[in-house]
Amino acid sequence: MKAFTFIYAEYNDYYQKYKWQPLDIAKDYYGIKVKENHNALEDAKATLYVFRKMIKEFK
Protein backbone atom coordinates (compact mmCIF):
# COMPACT_ATOMS: atom_id res chain seq x y z
CA MET A 1 0.00 0.00 0.00
CA LYS A 2 1.75 3.08 -1.26
CA ALA A 3 -0.26 5.52 0.87
CA PHE A 4 0.62 3.54 4.03
CA THR A 5 4.33 3.65 3.18
CA PHE A 6 4.98 6.97 4.91
CA ILE A 7 3.00 6.05 8.02
CA TYR A 8 4.92 2.81 8.59
CA ALA A 9 8.14 4.56 7.53
CA GLU A 10 10.49 1.65 6.80
CA TYR A 11 13.30 3.41 4.93
CA ASN A 12 15.55 1.49 2.53
CA ASP A 13 19.04 2.98 2.53
CA TYR A 14 20.08 1.16 -0.64
CA TYR A 15 17.21 2.51 -2.76
CA GLN A 16 16.97 5.74 -0.73
CA LYS A 17 13.21 5.62 -0.40
CA TYR A 18 10.50 4.19 1.81
CA LYS A 19 9.56 0.54 1.31
CA TRP A 20 6.02 -0.21 0.19
CA GLN A 21 4.12 -2.31 2.71
CA PRO A 22 1.69 -5.13 1.94
CA LEU A 23 -1.91 -4.98 3.06
CA ASP A 24 -1.21 -7.57 5.78
CA ILE A 25 1.24 -5.19 7.48
CA ALA A 26 -1.28 -2.33 7.34
CA LYS A 27 -4.02 -4.57 8.78
CA ASP A 28 -1.76 -5.63 11.65
CA TYR A 29 -0.68 -2.05 12.31
CA TYR A 30 -4.28 -0.94 12.77
CA GLY A 31 -5.47 -4.16 14.44
CA ILE A 32 -7.87 -5.08 11.66
CA LYS A 33 -9.07 -8.68 11.57
CA VAL A 34 -10.64 -10.35 8.53
CA LYS A 35 -12.39 -13.69 8.00
CA GLU A 36 -10.08 -14.85 5.19
CA ASN A 37 -6.72 -13.55 4.02
CA HIS A 38 -6.13 -13.07 0.29
CA ASN A 39 -9.83 -13.17 -0.53
CA ALA A 40 -10.86 -10.40 -2.95
CA LEU A 41 -13.87 -9.21 -0.96
CA GLU A 42 -12.08 -9.38 2.39
CA ASP A 43 -9.04 -7.57 0.94
CA ALA A 44 -11.31 -4.83 -0.43
CA LYS A 45 -12.97 -4.42 2.99
CA ALA A 46 -9.59 -4.37 4.73
CA THR A 47 -8.31 -1.72 2.31
CA LEU A 48 -11.35 0.42 3.09
CA TYR A 49 -10.84 0.03 6.85
CA VAL A 50 -7.13 0.87 6.58
CA PHE A 51 -7.90 3.90 4.42
CA ARG A 52 -10.46 5.15 6.97
CA LYS A 53 -7.96 4.70 9.82
CA MET A 54 -5.34 6.63 7.84
CA ILE A 55 -7.78 9.50 7.24
CA LYS A 56 -8.56 9.67 10.97
CA GLU A 57 -4.83 9.97 11.74
CA PHE A 58 -4.50 13.05 9.58
CA LYS A 59 -7.59 14.92 10.76
Domain regions of the chain by residue span: 5-58
pLDDT tens column, 7-45? 999 999 999 999 999 999 999 999 999 988 889 999 999
**Structure confidence at residue 6 (pLDDT):** 86
Q: Is the pLDDT of residue 49 over 90?
A: yes
- pLDDT interval class at 2 (50, 70, 90): confident
Helix and strand totals (H; E) in the chain: 3, 2
pTM over 0.85: no
For residue 44, give the amino acid letter.
A
Greater model confidence, 26 or 2: 26
Phi, psi of 34 (to 5 degrees): -130, 160
